[in-house]
Amino acid sequence: MLNELGKQAYSALRHNRRRSLLTMLGMAWGIATVVLLLAYGSGFERGLMIAFETFGGNFIAIFPGRTSLQAGGSKAGTEVKLSVQDLDYLRTEVPFIKRLSPEVNKQSLVAYGTRSASYDVRGTYASYQKIRHVDVAEGSFFGEQEDFTHSRVAVLGYDVKKKLFSGQNAIGENVRIEGVTYVVVGILKHMISNGDDNMNAMIYVPFSAMSVLKNTYYLDAITIEYEGEHEKVAKAIRDSMAYHHSFNPKDMRAVFVFDTIADLGELHIITMGIKVLLGFIGLLTLGIGGVGLMNIMLVSVTQRTREIGVEKALGAHRWHILFQFLAEALAITFLGGLAGVALAYLVSWAVGSLTL
């Protein structure tokens, strides 16, 4: 019986080729839309996860700000400045800190031979590499010894090396940063950029060697790797900074505590909402294709009224006629679905092969 239904469905589809192909095209488009939108949502989420992974695992960054609440004798709007003293406060007062490093940044003119460009130069401790999971492609990151001895060494970002050296060897070469000579000891691997914090266009030097370029008493940021619960660590950091800088601990604008674990949870909620929305849009498109299939089958039944009457006169049961049209609809849906999945795969492959 199934074999006979299949033959009848195939015969009906061949008899109305144009209508069948257009209906299949509608189903294929609906299926492809659903698959592509869901794939886009998953890819978007994965891309954000990879970007967050470049920050490091248990990672917290502190940035200076301005008070928005009055505390004690200090009025709102007072600038809060991070300093090297805060490093000692955090080490002694905040539990579970594993590593920490200051950050001092300066936009500087960097030159090698006749080539020059402006890049961000960042002074940090050697521990910054492990805190931020910085991967080195060539050479090595500077160590504690270089920082202790004020060694003028530099680690270049991927784009910096590409721009200044054009494929030539950079390890051991001298670059001039604001006229001061630094020896290149390492080249970073290419990394996904995180907004303004583009490691590919960054140059890292020991914190002690940064003092010849900029006053390093006041800090642009403090990066921390910790163990334990991120909420307790973040609260202890804010309480310590509030005490030493005389601002209200509830003032979120006095210092900005960037907690990757907390932000990752919020990011999951946002990406889940985006995926649900994209899936809903895809289902609407697929539903339109389904309505088109329903209308086509209704027209098919209307046009074949005489055929149905002949079949009933020859003893065909009602369910046999019903299954005949269901077989046609399933054939169109199945073939359209296969075409839609194939189309989605081809589009995904084509987009994935593009160099962005």
In 3D, which of 160, 214, 147 has the Cα closest to residue 186? 160
- Which residues, listed in sequence order, are joined to residue 203 by a DSSP beta bridge? 121, 156
Residue 55 has pLDDT above 70, yes or no: no
Its domain, for residue 44, covers 2-50+266-352
Number of domains present in the structure of the chain: 2
Residue 138 has pLDDT above 90, yes or no: yes
Cβ partners under 8 Å of residue 70, min gap 6: 76, 248
**Under a CB-based contact definition with an 8 Å cutoff, are residues 213 and 180 in contact?**
yes
| Helix or strand run (H / E) with residue 57 | none
> Domain for residue 82, yes or no?
no
**Which pLDDT score, from 0 to 100, does residue 196 have?**
65
DSSP helix, strand, coil percent of the chain (3-state; round to 5)? 55, 20, 25
Q: pLDDT tens-digit profile of 79-126?
A: 899 999 999 999 999 988 999 999 999 999 999 988 999 999 999 999
Residues in the chain: 356
Residue 57 has pLDDT above 90, yes or no: no
For 30-57, what is the mean pLDDT?
75
Q: pLDDT tens-digit profile of 249-301?
A: 888 889 999 887 776 777 777 778 888 888 788 778 778 777 777 777 777 76
Domain's final residue, options 176, 194, 215: 215
> Domain for residue 290, yes or no?
yes
**208 lies in the same domain as 128:** yes
Token pair of 16 as six digits: 């109305």
> Domain for residue 223, yes or no?
no
Domain's final residue, options 215, 230, 258: 215
Considering 78-92, 257-271, 323-337, 342-356, the range whose residues carry the highest mean pLDDT is 78-92
**Under a CB-based contact definition with an 8 Å cutoff, are residues 27 and 336 in contact?**
yes
**109 lies in the same domain as 178:** yes
> Domain for residue 141, yes or no?
yes
> Domain for residue 131, yes or no?
yes
**209 lies in the same domain as 108:** yes
**133 lies in the same domain as 195:** yes
**Which pLDDT score, from 0 to 100, does residue 4 have?**
55
> Domain for residue 143, yes or no?
yes
For 9-27, what is the mean pLDDT?
71
Say what angle helices 2-15 and 318-352 make with each other, to 10 degrees: 70
Residue 352 has pLDDT above 90, yes or no: no
**202 lies in the same domain as 112:** yes
The pTM assigned to this predicted structure is 0.69
**126 lies in the same domain as 192:** yes
Distance separating alpha carbons of residues 71 and 25, to the nearest angstrom = 67
**Which pLDDT score, from 0 to 100, does residue 51 have?**
65
Residue 78 has pLDDT above 80, yes or no: yes
**148 lies in the same domain as 45:** no
Rg over CA atoms, the chain: 32
> Domain for residue 298, yes or no?
yes
> Domain for residue 62, yes or no?
no
Q: pLDDT tens-digit profile of 173-229?
A: 999 999 999 999 999 998 876 656 788 999 999 999 999 999 999 999 999 999 888
